[in-house]
């Protein structure tokens, strides 16, 4: 990831500013504020602002007049109870705002999470930077033969080289045409029209503000090992900010959401039969083949769903 000197100066100026406040702050989060965490080749995630902390979740759950005098262990126990039993509204009392730089095709996947406030840079008013996402060779994979949304084996040799050459050439050519169309000396096409020529690996930027409950829902899906790599690395960077911001909630999230699995009633019935010593096969389990496979995978020792 590369930042322009002006961008670096803006970040340093923001980090140098101090404000006196009565509202709760989190030292680890204050250290992270405005810092650009690199993602992919030109992208980043940085925290612009936040409201609340672990104590705010507890305060909302108890509807107390202040932050309380209970022991830290009691507060963490309550947070874990809330997470375990899906009591989401106390987590909605905390909010966070991110500045994210990401490829357009990932932004279009990300925007499906409709529980945030979003303001994206407008290519009607601004000229987008000449920056494109080019995957590392180890992230180039063929289409999976069994998963329409997934990847198969990694491309190697001439196939990988050909794909990378095409990506670089197409992005460079379309951006050059974009600049030509914008040229005021001719043709001087309007920015809102010239932008339609850009490739989806062009980088865009936005401010993304959400509450803690909906952020955790986003991270449970997008930091999962099955999520698309390019959005997963953004989620993992954001997960690090959650760890700094609300460490008690972060630990509960790993235990009861990201690292947990849900079992249907028929699945649970099969597990109970197995615990009773019965040898259960898929054909007499009452589960479909897909559900049976999911259950077997859930019962196997596995790598944590979210990198910690």
Catalytic sites, residue numbers: 222
10 Å CB burial of residue 219 (0-12, 13-18, 19+) is buried
3-state secondary structure labels for all residues of the chain: CCCCHHHHHHHHHHHHCCCCCCCCCCHHHHHHCCCCEEECCCEEEEEEEEECCHHHHHHHHHCCCCCCCCCHHHHHHHHHHHHHCCCCHHHHHCEEEEEEEEEHHHHHHHCCCCCCEEEECCCCCCCCCCCECCCCHHHCEEECCCCCCCEEEECCHHHHHHHHHHHHHHHHHHHHHHHHHHCCCCCCCCHHHHHHHCCCCEEEEEEEEEEHHHHHHHHHHHCCCCCCHHHHHHHHHHHHHHHHHCHHHHHHHHHHHHCCCCCCHHHHHHHHHHHCCCCCCHHHCCCCHHHHHHHHHHHCCCCCCCCC
């Amino acid at each position: 990831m590369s930042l322009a000197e002006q961008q670096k100066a803006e970040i340093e100026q923001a980090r140098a500013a101090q404000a006196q406040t009565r509202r709760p702050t989190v030292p680890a989060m204050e250290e992270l504020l405005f810092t650009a965490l690199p993602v992919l080749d030109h992208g980043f995630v940085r925290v612009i602002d936040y409201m609340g902390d672990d104590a705010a979740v507890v305060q909302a759950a108890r509807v107390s007049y202040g932050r309380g005098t209970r022991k830290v262990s009691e507060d963490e126990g309550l947070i874990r109870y809330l997470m375990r039993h899906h009591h989401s509204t106390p987590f909605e009392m905390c909010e966070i705002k991110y500045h994210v730089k990401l490829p357009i095709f990932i932004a279009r996947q990300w925007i499906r999470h409709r529980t945030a406030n979003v303001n994206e840079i407008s290519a009607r008013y601004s000229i987008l930077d000449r920056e494109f996402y080019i995957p590392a060779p180890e992230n180039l994979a063929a289409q999976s033969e069994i998963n329409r949304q997934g990847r198969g084996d990694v491309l190697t040799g001439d196939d990988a080289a050909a794909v990378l050459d095409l990506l670089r050439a197409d992005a460079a050519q379309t951006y050059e045409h974009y600049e030509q169309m914008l040229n005021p000396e001719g043709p001087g096409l309007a920015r809102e029209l010239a932008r339609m020529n850009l490739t989806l690996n062009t980088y865009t930027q936005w401010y993304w503000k959400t509450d803690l409950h909906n952020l955790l829902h986003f991270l449970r899906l997008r930091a999962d090992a099955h999520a698309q790599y390019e959005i997963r690395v953004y989620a993992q960077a954001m997960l690090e900010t959650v760890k700094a911001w609300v460490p008690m909630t972060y630990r509960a999230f790993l235990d009861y959401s990201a690292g947990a699995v849900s079992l249907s009633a028929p699945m649970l019935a099969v597990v109970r039969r197995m615990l009773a010593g019965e040898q259960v096969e898929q054909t007499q389990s009452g589960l479909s083949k897909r559900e049976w496979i999911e259950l077997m995978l859930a019962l196997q020792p596995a790598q944590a769903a979210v990198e910690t």
